[in-house]
Amino acid sequence: MLSALEPLYTAAEMRAAEEGHDVEQLMERAGRAVAEETLQHYPEARSFAGVFGGGANGGDGRIAAELLRANGLEEVSLHDADVVIDALFGTGFTGEPRPEAAEKIRAINDAPGAVVAVDIPSGVDASTGEIPGDGVLADLTVTFHARKVGHEVAPGRFHRGELVVADIGLEPLETEHALVTPEILDLVPRRSPGDTKYTAGSVLVVGGSPGMTGAVCLTAEAAFRADAGYVAVAAPAESLPVIEARLLEAVKRPLDKVWDAVERAGALAVGPGLGRERGALVRRLLDETRLPAVVDADALWGLEPAEREAPTVLTPHSGELGRLLGEEAAWVDAHRLKALRRAVERFECTVLLKGEGTLVGAPGRGPLVCGGFPSLATAGTGDVLTGVIGAFLAKGMEAPFAAAAASVAHTQAAVTAPHKSGLVASDLLLTLPRVLDA
């Protein structure tokens, strides 16, 4: 499990890791790392400019500047520099920059040269990824010891550019947050010689109203491609002819026979194309079954907390989570960790917040960050993710790890797709098995 989770440090955790170490030595190592990475990444650079704060981060930057000068780079003004060193604020910064500092950040962003951030782009909260005011847009960030939460959680994630982690001689520390690595896919149960189609993972997908049958088809096919042995679909009777024509392997049932299908299911995938008017059915399925469930799309509309012991995963995007919390989507995008924690507390289950830097939270556990890939920003990919989560739940995985593993598989399927531009959700169905076989 340790190799599947890479620590993400908050500012307080970094202070704890540095405690007892010689500050001057740490600054010397950090500054040297910044200079070395700058020279390596920008070998054609002949000049640089630095913006230095008064704290340790500024000290790191000044040491880097000395080494750049020693290597023949000329120190010039911001608008003449090939490279700009951002050492204004470090990981201890919180809140909104004061006007003078905000002006410096804007000047860095307006400069034509490449921007190298020392530890974290100035203006980004290292512990949350939030950017309350102006924030540096870096091309390269050189951080020390380990990744910080703000490097991986949006919107900070979008400001870091390429990220390099430099070893400065600190010991590992247990952290609250973790970045999920592809090794988590090793935890997904594979079929054994004694398995049947039911014990390999049986998923019941509930959704597919007229005009939205594609959603339920994508979810069902994704569950199969994620190695479920049996998939059934319960959909409105008028949708079944379309679903019959599209899905070969799945068993189909009219929605009024959903309770018959529940008996053979190992997990539920509720919501893809279901329609927002079926909240009462969603409530019954959650209240009256003891099956693990992933709840997505229309099933999230108007959802209220349910008391259930079975593993449950909610998979909202920022707009859906905003509605559930009584907030705007923009607020969720700006405060993703805070929104995740509120959702976990309210619904007392696992919550997967979609987006670049997907987050997974669960009661009693620290948040997991699962990466992402720009090509996934297209219609239907969420339905595919729901099917993968459903399959992993049916195989008996714990809800947080089923959600995190599904997110990683989903991302890797997009990364390995034959094309990135013009990717559509059904492309992922072809690459999912390769990802799980890797």
Per-residue pLDDT, 1: 59
Cα–Cα distance between 408 and 421 in angstroms, integer? 20
* pLDDT tens-place string over residues 83-131: 999 999 999 999 999 999 999 999 999 999 999 999 999 999 999 999 9
Neighbours of 181 (CB within 10 A): 14
DSSP per-residue letters across 156-225: GGGGS-EEEEE--SPPP---SEEEEPGGGGGGSPPP-TT--TTTT-EEEEE---TT-HHHHHHHHHHHHH
Beta carbons within 8 Å of 378's beta carbon, 6+ residues apart = 423, 424, 425
> First and final CA of the chain: distance in angstroms?
18
Reading the block at residue 209, the tokens are 């109203």
Beta strands in 2-139 (DSSP E): 5-8, 47-52, 74-75, 83-87, 114-118
DSSP 3-state assignment of 121? coil
Report which of 430, 379, 382 is spatially closest to residue 406, judged by C-alpha positions. 382
> How distant, in Å, are the alpha carbons of 62, 71, 313 from that of 80?
19, 18, 52
| CA-derived radius of gyration, the chain | 24
Report which of 433, 436, 437, 434 is spatially closest to residue 221, judged by C-alpha positions. 433
> How distant, in Å, are the alpha carbons of 71, 145, 241 from that of 167?
22, 5, 60
Per-residue pLDDT, 2: 62
Reading the block at residue 264, the tokens are 């053979």
Report which of 260, 271, 252, 251 is spatially closest to residue 209, judged by C-alpha positions. 271
pLDDT mean values, one per 10 residues, the chain (438 residues) = 89 97 97 98 98 95 98 97 98 96 98 98 98 98 98 98 98 97 96 92 97 97 98 98 96 96 96 96 96 97 93 98 98 98 98 96 97 91 98 98 98 92 95 93
The residue type of 195 is D
Cα–Cα distance between 271 and 273 in angstroms, integer? 6
In the 8-state DSSP scheme, what is residue 97?
Answer: P
Cα–Cα distance between 199 and 312 in angstroms, integer? 20
Neighbours of 195 (CB within 10 A): 14
Per-residue pLDDT, 420: 83
* pLDDT tens-place string over residues 347-375: 999 999 999 899 999 999 999 999 889 99
Per-residue pLDDT, 3: 86
Question: For the whole model, what pTM was predicted?
Answer: 0.96
* pLDDT tens-place string over residues 294-334: 999 999 999 999 889 999 999 999 999 999 999 999 999 99
391 in Cβ contact with 227 (< 8 Å): yes
DSSP 3-state assignment of 93? coil
Looking from the CA of 19 toward its CB, the CA atoms found within 13 Å total: 8
